[in-house]
Amino acid sequence: MRPFIIIFIFTWFLNLFLPWWSALLPAIIFGAWLLENSLSAFITGLTAGGFAWFAQAFYIHIANDAILSTRVAEMLQLGSPWFALLFTFLIGGILAGFGTLFGYQLKTVLTNSSIPDTN
């Protein structure tokens, strides 16, 4: 639960000021630092990043009376603005999920790598 909250807060905060790819920064860092296996790394990143992007998109949805999400849903031929918000959850979740998985795998490679003995 702790990695989820940390990744969620940092992803949400960085996405307020930086471009979309800033969701990868906390995902990679905390995926390498806090998570213990690859499945939990991906699931934690998927849910934390997805909810962070959904929270931001939902705030925008409420703040402008659903004008933006309705137009995006029409442009993508999704039908409902709620599908646009779900699509936002999936994109942010997949991005952060693969980020945490990459961070965990990077930690695994760097901690298990050994120099082969040539003697």
Domain boundary assignment for the chain: 2-110
Smallest Cα–Cα separation from 49: which of 26, 29, 33, 32? 26
Smallest Cα–Cα separation from 11: which of 90, 22, 55, 47? 22
Q: Which helix (H) or strand (E) holds 10?
A: helix 2-17
Digit-coded pLDDT (tens) for 25-73: 999 999 999 888 889 999 999 999 999 999 999 999 999 999 999 999 9
pTM for this entry: 0.85
Q: Mean pLDDT score of the chain, rounded to an integer?
A: 90
